Structure 1
Amino acid sequence: MAANNSLAGDDLLNRKIGFLTLQVLVMLFLSINLLLIITFFQKEYFYTSARYILFAVTLLSDSLLLFMTDFLLVFAHFHINIQGWLCIIICAVIFLYLTVTPVTLTAMTLERYVAICMPLRHGELCSTRSIMHSILIIHVLSSVPCIVVLSTFFVLASLSFYKEQHICLVEVFLFHIWQHHLRSAVYQFQFLILCIIIVFSYVKIMKVARAASGDDKKSTQKGLRTVLLHGFQLLLCFIQMWCPFIESSLFQINFTLFESIRYFNFLMFYLAPRCLSPLIYGLRDEVFFHALKNIVYLGLNKRNIT
């Protein structure tokens, strides 16, 4: 009996440490993103350039998704219930921005393809106005899985659901196994299309890289590495889309195990992929990195003066 109590106490302590560690990482990530967003608005060159505008979209999308999912994680950890209608709004935002990032990554890959393979048309195809239209298209395309999932819920849910108190999880919207299969099919089809676009862009850029020389070759090689990193991010995003299926199965079996796996998935497949965007464009990009260093330097100087 005493041994069981000791094990339960250790498990509770580990969960608390894991939860606090996760919150520190989330705050750190959001702080870095905030710094990068501030840097983006410091120079006109950034918010009039296609690649940086799309980068800012991923930063805002990732930050909002991380904040909302962490919000639900905190509520689930403390077993706080909320009304059904509010849970629907929160989950609709999560469904949308879960897809915005991979679609934007694909748009960024296409921008690199145009810049390297069609340099004479880059100014026309990737103008500020075209990118604004692209952002609208990105959100429209990203809303398709959200509409499919929620439309099946609206057909099946009773009116009382909207007023009832629930632990807000995506699983509460999926009443039947066919809804899980439908969501899986939509996400897999979307992932397949995005992969085809990224592979096509990579092959085309590789052909240009082989023919290029000197500075052009260096620029093209950097573009290839960027496309590869986008592909790796997309793979992590796809794995992330499978996390709810694993979690929903565990939710029915063991809630403690469900919480542990949910923390792990959140760390590996929500947080980690979104740390790559600041790395790719915040640190690897010389122009952006130089502007970022200036802001940090000025901030430290002001602190020393005061």
Structure 2
Amino acid sequence: MSDANQSQSNTSSLQQYQGTLERALFSTLNTLPCCVFLYINGSMMFTLRSKDLFCQTSRYVLLFNLLVADTLQIALGQLLYIMAACRVILTYPVCGTLTFVANLGTVISPLTLVLMALERYVAVCFPLRHAAIISVRNTALAILMVWAFSSLNIFTRIILLIVDDLPTLQMKDVCSYVAMLVGHASDIYDKAFACFLFVSSGVAVISAYIGVIVAAKSASADKALARKARNTLLLHLVQLGLSLTSTIYIPLLNALSRILTRIVLVRLMNVLYVCIFIFPRCLSSLIYGIRDQSIRPVLVYHLCCHLKLPVVPVRQV
């Protein structure tokens, strides 16, 4: 009987060890690309502040704001992931601060994409008034309004959390955004706000795209500028769609939980975390860094840690 108990104890210990080892493995595999993406985003932001051209051009100022929001989401999202993997239990105020600040970037990103789409629309449809309408001062005011609107959303969530009247400040599970939706009102508000945000953002970007297409058909339009603006707006629409995928993350997991075992679901969650949350937040740096002829050489210079590759002379035969 004692041998059976000992065998059962060893099996339980082995299962627990495998679980810990697997969590450490997945945490490492998720942290490595996260660090790479943070380095790329950081280099891109440093690039956009390294020259006066980037600081005094509206579209680069908007791009910098987009990168700040995406980087904020990546950093705080990875911090929450590591704490969840380590089974760290927080209090509601601490967890709420982390999740709500991360959620701030979730709102700022699509709204900044809308501003970037409108900037391209004005450049094509109102080229003579572009400098006056899309000035650096007006761009800064628009960014300030975006941050104020996002902060208002956070304050609303805090009020709903207070109204829910938590029985205790100590959480019973690991910190996550879903764990902060403790009441029915919070859940309804979250779904309604996400639907409103992305529907309105999608309509704004699509309308700007249609406006650019209509303007490109006119005889007075700059065909090359209109074609570049159209491709850029399509890119913004794709980015907006990738941001939208994060809103279906929880419903997708709820649907998969009915057909998959818990261990398979946990492994799939790690893959979806990188594909849905981490990777889309790095696309802005990669895409704009490669497409923009002004940014590309400076970005490569900073990514390579200011190293200058030696020029090897070619021998003529």
TM range (shorter): 0.7 to 0.9
1:143 paired residue number: 151
**Contact 2:41/2:282 (CA < 8 Å) preserved in 1?**
no
What does the per-residue CA deviation read over 1:97-118, in whole Å, with 9 as the maximum and x for residues that have no partner? 1111111111111111111111
Pick one of 55, 75, 80 that aligns with 2:83.
75
Shift of 1:197: 0.6
CA distance in 1 between counterparts of 2:173 and 2:219 reads 59
TM-score, with normalisation over the residues of structure 1? Answer: 0.86
What does the per-residue CA deviation read over 1:231-260, in whole Å, with 9 as the maximum and x for residues that have no partner? 111111112022234457889997645543
Work out the number of aligned pairs and report it.
300
Of 62-71 and 204-213, more deviation after overlay is shown by 204-213
CA distance in 1 between counterparts of 2:186 and 2:302 reads 48
**Contact 1:39/1:292 (CA < 8 Å) preserved in 2?**
yes
CA distance in 2 between counterparts of 1:268 and 1:50 reads 30
- Show structure 1 runs of 5+ residues with no match: none
What does the per-residue CA deviation read over 1:132-184, in whole Å, with 9 as the maximum and x for residues that have no partner? 101111112223443333322110133631x5575211222222445323311
Pick one of 250, 268, 273 that aligns with 1:244.
250
Shift of 1:212: 5.9
2:208 paired residue number: 201
**Contact 1:80/1:167 (CA < 8 Å) preserved in 2?**
yes
User: Relative to 1, partners in 2 of residues 1:293 and 1:175: Cα closer, same or farther, differing over 3 Å?
Assistant: closer
**Contact 2:69/2:105 (CA < 8 Å) preserved in 1?**
yes
Shift of 1:271: 1.7
Match status 1:18 vs 2:34:
no
Match status 1:293 vs 2:291:
no
CA distance in 1 between counterparts of 2:58 and 2:69 reads 17
1:127 paired residue number: 135
2:218 paired residue number: 211
Match status 1:105 vs 2:105:
no
CA distance in 2 between counterparts of 1:194 and 1:279 reads 22
**Contact 2:125/2:212 (CA < 8 Å) preserved in 1?**
yes
Of 283-292 and 5-14, more deviation after overlay is shown by 5-14
1:42 paired residue number: 50
User: Relative to 1, partners in 2 of residues 1:288 and 1:177: Cα closer, same or farther, differing over 3 Å?
Assistant: same
Pick one of 37, 53, 57 that aligns with 1:29.
37
1:160 match: secondary structure: coil
2:178 match: secondary structure: helix
User: Relative to 1, partners in 2 of residues 1:219 and 1:68: Cα closer, same or farther, differing over 3 Å?
Assistant: same
Shift of 1:69: 0.7
Of 187-196 and 149-158, more deviation after overlay is shown by 149-158
Shift of 1:122: 1.1
User: Relative to 1, partners in 2 of residues 1:273 and 1:109: Cα closer, same or farther, differing over 3 Å?
Assistant: same
2:232 paired residue number: 226
Mapping of 1:278-289 within 5 angstroms? 278-289=285-296
1:182 paired residue number: 189
Name the amino acid aligned to 1:45: L
CA distance in 2 between counterparts of 1:114 and 1:220 reads 11
CA distance in 2 between counterparts of 1:237 and 1:89 reads 22
CA distance in 1 between counterparts of 2:43 and 2:87 reads 33
Name the amino acid aligned to 1:156: D
Structure ID, larger Rg: 2
- Show structure 2 runs of 5+ residues with no match: 1-6, 311-317
Shift of 1:279: 2.8
TM-score, with normalisation over the residues of structure 2? Answer: 0.83
Shift of 1:187: 0.7
Structure with greater helix percent: 1
Q: Percent identity?
A: 25
Shift of 1:281: 1.8
1:45 match: secondary structure: helix
User: Relative to 1, partners in 2 of residues 1:136 and 1:102: Cα closer, same or farther, differing over 3 Å?
Assistant: same
What does the per-residue CA deviation read over 1:4-24, in whole Å, with 9 as the maximum and x for residues that have no partner? 989987776555433212111
2:175 match: secondary structure: coil
Name the amino acid aligned to 1:192: V
**Contact 1:83/1:166 (CA < 8 Å) preserved in 2?**
no
2:272 paired residue number: 265
Name the amino acid aligned to 1:55: L
Shift of 1:294: 4.2
**Contact 2:164/2:183 (CA < 8 Å) preserved in 1?**
no
CA RMSD of the aligned region, Å? Answer: 3.1
